[in-house]
Structure 1
């Protein structure tokens, strides 16, 4: 038998076709990562005989139940260690983003976002790469309130949409770095057409800021920290959820009215 402790579960599953119905019950107990018990306590718990458990061990190529429990305990410890090494850093990153998002919250900026969104029915969303996924979330949320959202995820389509903008149109730009020259060019074109621009970014020094009506700053990690262990769009999604919650709070009557009309149409 292999000495690798993480082979234990694979070993049990590889022998499934050879197990009797009683041995299947024993196998399910260990595959289910249940508590370690003495052989007599286990026999009583799963209603099988102690000799049946011993035969199960033999079928796995082990000498006895003691050897099975030794390998099983190592496997459980290995899984716990893996959870500590993988899950903890990821959840810590989420917690850090949430804390920093709370610290950077500017109520007036969020209100200005909501007011501009409320003022128009058609909204353009510009975001490259992972930001385009955030555009899908924005579309899902605000289309429920009667807004028509058009999302653009590449420089070419963004430039084309900029050229067709009209006075009073609203564009939400999503970019953590906010330095892409083609997006900046599109914003400048839109401003010439007297469109309104909203920006969500993590870059306080972005050249986009000077051309936008309002900017919300998303949380970010420093160069010495890692963002690679979580999805890059998460900081943007946090801000979109904040905007969404504030919008509902500010415009509850209009939201309720629109949802009521939708319910009537569905009847």
Structure 2
């Protein structure tokens, strides 16, 4: 089974947007918790062909209908258990994200991040949607070192920011998917003006990577994590914490600014 999701209902919903109209009908049958049928009986009952059901199984990452029914039966049984006991799965997801983040860690990339941040006083942070929350965290952390952080969280503001960039300006982009075409165009504009770019993403094939001085790779979400059980900005926040920790150790000469900011915050 390709998807490491042991709940068929979560698995179905995680693929819902990719279903055809026929596959939506098949999905609805299982989501409504109907009786277990053979593939021929199910095809007749919901007026679809057996090959359509097989394709539905493949789209979920399952090998065949037998595997689908096995997972369906397990998921039905799970529905009868105490649904309030969710702490362990959530904690396990956080641990898995941390483990995948550690596996993706590249020391030199983080050091390069820190050096560019240290060499630049005013830093732009571009992040759409949930990434803007990570931008606020980045601003809070590095403002304590005397950095001026400007967070841009919508495409219009990002495009305007790109048009006003100058040589030597530094932009940090947070985009897990790294596929936004408008963001890519903004980066291209910034490059023509001599700006430098850093990026945090989970997509090694992002076209934006080619325009960045350095890229730090965040952990990907599994199918069930992507449903919203885990706050979507967590992988980016983990990387920002790693960068911040390295920065504190690598650039101890700026520690006096940090101490001053701590004193101010305690007032």
TM over 0.5, shorter chain = yes
1:192 matched residue in structure 2:
192
The answer to whether 1:161 aligns with 2:150 is: no
Structure 1, unmatched stretches of 5+, are 1-79
Determine which structure has more spread, i.e. the larger CA radius of gyration.
1
Cα distance in 1 for residues equivalent to 2:155 and 2:217: 22
Equivalent positions of 1:33-72 (< 5 A) are none
Shift of 1:261: 5.3
Shift of 1:128: 0.2
Cα distance in 2 for residues equivalent to 1:237 and 1:265: 24
Q: Cα deviation per residue 1:106-146 (whole Å; 9 max; x = unaligned)?
A: 00000000000000100000000000000000000000110
Q: Say which SS state the counterpart of residue 205 (structure 1) adopts.
A: coil
Cα distance in 1 for residues equivalent to 2:145 and 2:245: 13
1:112 matched residue in structure 2:
112
The answer to whether 1:136 aligns with 2:162 is: no
1:214 matched residue in structure 2:
214
TM-score (norm 2): 0.66
Shift of 1:150: 0.2
Q: Say which SS state the counterpart of residue 216 (structure 1) adopts.
A: strand
Shift of 1:168: 0.7
Cα distance in 1 for residues equivalent to 2:137 and 2:184: 23
Equivalent positions of 1:98-109 (< 5 A) are 98-109=98-109
Shift of 1:253: 1.8
- Mapped contact 2:168–2:195 kept (Cα < 8 A): yes
For the aligned residue pairs, the C-alpha RMSD in angstroms reads 2.0
Q: Say which SS state the counterpart of residue 167 (structure 2) adopts.
A: coil
1:149 matched residue in structure 2:
149
Higher relative contact order (CA 8 A, sep 6+): 2
Cα distance in 2 for residues equivalent to 1:88 and 1:220: 20
Moved more, 242-251 or 256-265: 256-265
1:257 matched residue in structure 2:
256
Segments of 4+ in structure 1 off by > 4 A?
260-267
Cα distance in 2 for residues equivalent to 1:190 and 1:160: 10
The answer to whether 1:231 aligns with 2:222 is: no
Structure 2, unmatched stretches of 5+, are 1-80
